[in-house]
Chain A
Amino acid sequence: MVEKETKTDKSDFLQLVREAIGRKTPLLYAPDYPPLKSNYTRQQEKVRTITAKNLARKSKILDQLIENASFAGWNVHRVSDHESAAEKIGEIAASVKAKLAVRTTETILKSVNVDGALRSKKVTPVVLASGRYRSKSDLKEVAFKADLGISGVSFAIAETASCVLIPRKGVARLTSLAPPVFVAIVQADQVLENLDDYFAMVRLQFQKTRGRYPNYTNFVSGPSRTADIEQTLTIGVHGPGIVHMVLVG
C-alpha cells in the first residue's frame, strides 16, 4: 500500500508561521537577543567569574547543597577522602541487602575503590558497559536485575540538589535509573551554586566544541516519586526510590 506523500515541507511550514506572525519574508539577521549574542570570549569571561565566585563561596555552597539535598530526599554522606567514600558505599550496599551492583567507569571510580568495598560486603560489582555484553538487551537485563547503581557526576547544583549525569563511554544511562537504589559520588569541586552557573557552562562548552556537545543529560534531584494516586506522595516508581549522595571533600 502506497500512501500519498503529503508531508509539509519545512520552508512552506516556516512561511505559514511567518505569515501568522505578520511578516512576509525571513529575518535577514538573527533576532536581537542578548543571551544568544555573547561570543566565546565573553562567555569564557562569564564562566571565569562564576568559577571564582563559587570558589570564594565554596563552604557556603556545600552547606546549601547538603541542606537542599536532604530536603529533596537524598541521603547525604559527607566524607573526607576516597577511602571513606568506598567504605560508605559498602555500608549502603549492605544496608539495602544488595547482591548485584552496577557501576560506571568514571575517573572518580578509579580513585574510590568501590569494587573492593562491595566485595567485602559480599556484593558483586559489575561495570555496566556495552562492550562487556553481547547485545544491548543483555545490558538492559543486567541493569534491571541490579540492586544498586553507582556513578560519579559531571556537576552538582546546590540550588536544586541536582546531580548532573552525562552518559558517555563507560557511563550507561541505565546505571542511575534501573536499580532501585542509586549512589552518586560528588566531589566538592564539582558543586555549582545554581542553575544559571550550570547553563552558562553548558553554553561555553557548546561554543567551544562548535556544537559537538553531548546529546543527552539528566538532572537527578532526588528519588523517583509520584503523587498520581490520590495525591499521595509515593517514592520509587520507575526510577530509584532510594538515593544516596556521597560528598567527597
Chain B
Amino acid sequence: MAEVKTAKFKKASSQAVSDPKLQNTLEHVMGHFIEARAGAIEEFGDESWDQMRERASSIKKHALENLDYYLDLIDRTIQKNGGHVHFAKDTQEANRIVLDIAKKAEAKRVIKSKSMVSEEMGLNKALEKAGIEPVETDLGEYIIQLADEPPFHIIAPAMHKTKQEVSELFQDWLRTAPTQDIKQLCIIARDALREKFSTADIGVSGANFVVAETGTVVLVTNEGNGRMTTSTPKIHIAVSGIEKVLPAIEDVGLFLRLLPRSATGQRITSYNTFVSGPKFSTDEDGPEEFHLIMVDNGRLNLMRDPEFREALKCIRCGACLNTCPIYRKVGGHSYGWVYPGPIGAVITPVLTNIKQSKDLPYASTLCGACRDVCPVKIDIPKLLLKLRHMAVEGDSSQRSVSWIERLMIGQWRKTVSTRSSIERATNLARFLQVVVTKKGIIRNLPLPLISGWTKSRDFPALAPKSFAQLWQEKFSEETDG
C-alpha cells in the first residue's frame, strides 16, 4: 500500500497555508474549477440537476446493496467476453496479481493511465521492485511520477506544479531545453511517451465505472493516453475499487452527464473508452489479454456501516475538493495519503488507520458545501462528524477543533495585514465562518467550527455564497458607519 502519512496532517497543513506560492495556485485553480462546474450544470437548471443527482445516488445505493450479485455478474460476463476477473482483498494481493501477469508475459515495461486505486496500491513501487519499468502517461501523473510525489488532486494530480517546475523536471529527466511554453511542454511529454506506448508490454488503467450487465469498464479521459493504454500493449489490466459498479448499461448515460460536469465542467470529456474484454481475433489491433482486478482494500469496512456505506457511492469527481474551504487552503498533500479533500477525510481513516488519521475528520468547517456539490449526494459532513465521535474521546476533539481554527485564523491575520483586498478577506471569512469587523476583530458566530462539534449536528448547512453575501452586508454596515 502507498505510504500513509496522515499523522502529519497538522504539520503539513501549517506548512501549506504559509506557502504563498501554493496559496496563489490553489486560489487560482480552485476558482477555475468552481466556475467551470457552475457553467456546465446551468443548462439543466437546479431542479433537474438535483433530480439527476438523486437518481445517481439511488442507483449507487442499489448497486452497493447488491454488490455481491453484481460482482459475480461482472465476473461471469467478462469471462464470457474472453477476459479475466480477479478479486483482491488488499493492495498486496492486487499488486501480486499484476506482478504474476507481468512475470508470465515477461514484461519489461508497463504503461499506465490514471488510476487512483493503483496509487492506493503503490503499484509503481511494486513494479520497480520487480525490475519492471512503470510509466505514467497522463500528463499530470507523468509529472508527479518524475517528481516522485503523490497526486495533489484527484483529477488534477500536478496542479501544484508551475510550468517552470515542469520544465525543470523535463530538463533533469529528459534532457530537454528549458521552456515556459506550456504547449511545448506537452509536446515534449507526448514525444517521450510515444516511444513508451509503442514498446510497452502491458497497459494498466483504472476504471471510472464497471457495468455489470455487459461486463464493461468505462474510462473517462481527455488526453488520449487512456485509449493508448488500452490499444497498444498486448495485455490490458484494469484495476478498480469494488464500489465502481453500475448495474446496467443504460445507467451509463446519467453518470456520463454527471461526472465530467462535476469534475472539470465539461459537457463530456474528449474520450470515453468502453472495454469489455480482449480484442476479437479478427480485430486489427488491441490487447490479446484483458484482466480486471476488483480491489477491496478496506472498502468493506465502509460497507459494514450503513452510514459509511454512503461514501462508497463516490465517483471521484473531485468537486468536493474544489469547493472545500479547507482543501483550498491546505492543499492535497497535507491529507497524507491518496485521496485528499472532504471525501479523503472520510475514507482515508477507514481505509488506512483511524488512530493515525485522527486529525483528518477535523479538516472541515462542516459548512456543507461538499454535500451540496456532490453528484451522488453523499452527506460528507455527517460522516465526518461520525468519524470524530469514533476517533476521539472528550477533550482531544476540542483540541483538534481549536487547532484548525487557530491555523486558519493565523492565516486570516496574515492575509488582512498583507493584502487588504476585500475579495481575499471575503473568501477567508467565508470559510472561517466568522464576521470580520473593520479593525480586524473577529467576532465568532455560533457556527460549527467555532462552537465545537458537539452542537454542530443541528446546525443548518451554510451555502458559501449566501454567507459571502451576509458577510458583505456586515462589512458595508461597518464601513458605512
Contact surface of A with B, Cβ cutoff 8 Å: 3, 6-8, 10, 13-18, 20-23, 26-27, 30-31, 33, 35-36, 68, 71-72, 128-130, 136-137, 139-141, 144, 160-162, 167-174, 177, 194-196, 198-200, 202-203, 206, 211, 213-232, 234, 236-240
| Beta-carbon contact of A33 and B248 below 8 Å | yes
Complex contacts, A211 vs chain B, CB 8 Å: 77, 80-81, 214
CA distance A144 to B269 in the complex (A): 23
A130's partner among B137, B143, B285 (CB-CB below 8 A) is B285
Chain B residues in 8 Å Cβ range of A30:
69
Once A224-B222, A224-B224 are accepted as A-B contacts, the answer to whether A16 and B296 lie under 8 Å apart by CB is yes
Chain B interface residues toward A at CB < 8 A: 28-29, 32, 62, 64-69, 71-72, 75, 77, 80-83, 85-89, 93, 96-97, 137-140, 143, 156-159, 161-163, 166, 182-183, 185-186, 189-190, 193-194, 197-198, 213-214, 222-225, 227-228, 230-232, 234, 242, 247-253, 256-257, 264, 267-280, 282-286, 290, 296, 300-301, 303-304
A144 near B267 (CB under 8 angstroms)? no
Cα-based distance from A68 to B40 in the complex (angstroms): 13
**Inter-subunit contact B231/A169 (CB<8 Å):** no
A36-B248, A206-B249, A226-B186 given; A216·B69 CB < 8 A:
no
Please count the residue pairs between chain A and chain B whose beta carbons lie under 8 angstroms apart in the complex.
265
| B304 and chain A: residue at smallest CB distance | A20
Do A216 and B276 contact each other (CB < 8 Å), given the known contacts A169-B284, A174-B231, A238-B228?
yes
For residue A219, which residues in chain B have a CB less than 8 angstroms away from its CB? Answer: 268, 271-273
Whether B283 contacts A169 by the Cβ 8 Å rule is yes
- Bound Cα distance from A35 to B280, whole angstroms: 28
Q: Check B224–A239 contact: CB distance below 8 A.
A: yes
Which residue of B186, B269, B285 is within 8 Å of A136 (Cβ)? B285
Contact residues in A for B242 (Cβ distance below 8 Å): 17
How far, in whole Å, are A234 and B81 apart by their CA atoms in the complex? Answer: 37
- Which of B72, B139, B224, B275 gathers most chain A CB within 10 Å? B224
Q: Whole-angstrom distance from the CB of A159 to the nearest CB of chain B?
A: 8
Residues of A within 8 A of B87 (CB): 8, 10, 13-14
Q: A196-B250, A216-B275 are in contact. Are A230 and B270 (CB under 8 A)?
A: no
Some 16 contacts from A to B, beta carbons below 8 A apart, are: A10-B72, A14-B71, A17-B303, A20-B301, A21-B66, A31-B65, A35-B250, A215-B279, A216-B274, A221-B270, A221-B271, A228-B157, A229-B185, A231-B28, A236-B190, A238-B137
Q: Are A172 and B247 in contact, CB atoms less than 8 angstroms apart?
A: no
Instruction: Give every chain B residue within 8 A of A8 (Cβ-Cβ).
Output: 87-89, 93
* Nearest CB of B to A86, in Å: 23
Q: How far is the CA of A206 from the CA of B280 in the complex (A)?
A: 16
B193 engages A195 (CB within 8 Å): no
Contact A215 B278 (CB under 8 A): yes
Top 7 A-B residue pairs of the complex, sorted by shortest distance between their CB atoms:
A239-B224, A195-B253, A238-B224, A228-B140, A35-B248, A172-B284, A215-B277
- Across the interface, do A218 and B273 meet the contact criterion of CB distance under 8 Å? yes
Knowing A195-B252, A228-B138, A237-B225 touch, does A218 contact B182 (C-beta < 8 A)?
A: no
Task: Establish whether residues B186 and A68, one from each chain, have CB atoms under 8 Å apart when the complex forms.
Answer: no
The reply to whether B227 and A239 contact each other, CB–CB distance below 8 Å, is: yes
Do B256 and A195 have beta carbons less than 8 Å apart?
yes
- Chain B residues whose CB sits within 8 angstroms of the CB of A171 once the complex forms: 284
Q: Are B286 and A173 in contact (CB under 8 A)?
A: yes
Given known pairs A141-B198, A173-B227, A238-B223, the reply for A160 and B163 (CB within 8 Å) is: no
Since A13-B89, A219-B268, A228-B159 are in contact, a sample of 11 more A-B pairs with Cβ atoms closer than 8 Å, ordered by chain A residue number, is A6-B93, A16-B296, A17-B296, A20-B300, A162-B268, A171-B284, A196-B253, A211-B77, A216-B286, A218-B274, A238-B223
Q: Are A234 and B283 in contact (CB under 8 A)?
A: no
Contact of A231 among B77, B159, B223 (CB under 8 A): B159
Q: Would you give the shortest CB distance from A28 to chain B, in whole angstroms?
A: 10
The answer, among A139, A223, A230, A238, for a CB contact under 8 Å with B182, is A230
Q: Which of B82, B161, B234, B256 is most buried by chain A, counting CB atoms within 10 A of its CB?
A: B256
Residue of B65, B143, B194, B197 touching A21 (CB-CB under 8 A): B65
Residues from chain A with a CB closer than 8 A to the CB of B93 are: 6-8
State the CA gap A217–B62 with chains docked (Å).
26
- Asked if B97 and A139 sit within 8 Å, CB to CB, the answer is no
Residues A231 and B29 in contact, CB atoms below 8 Å apart: yes
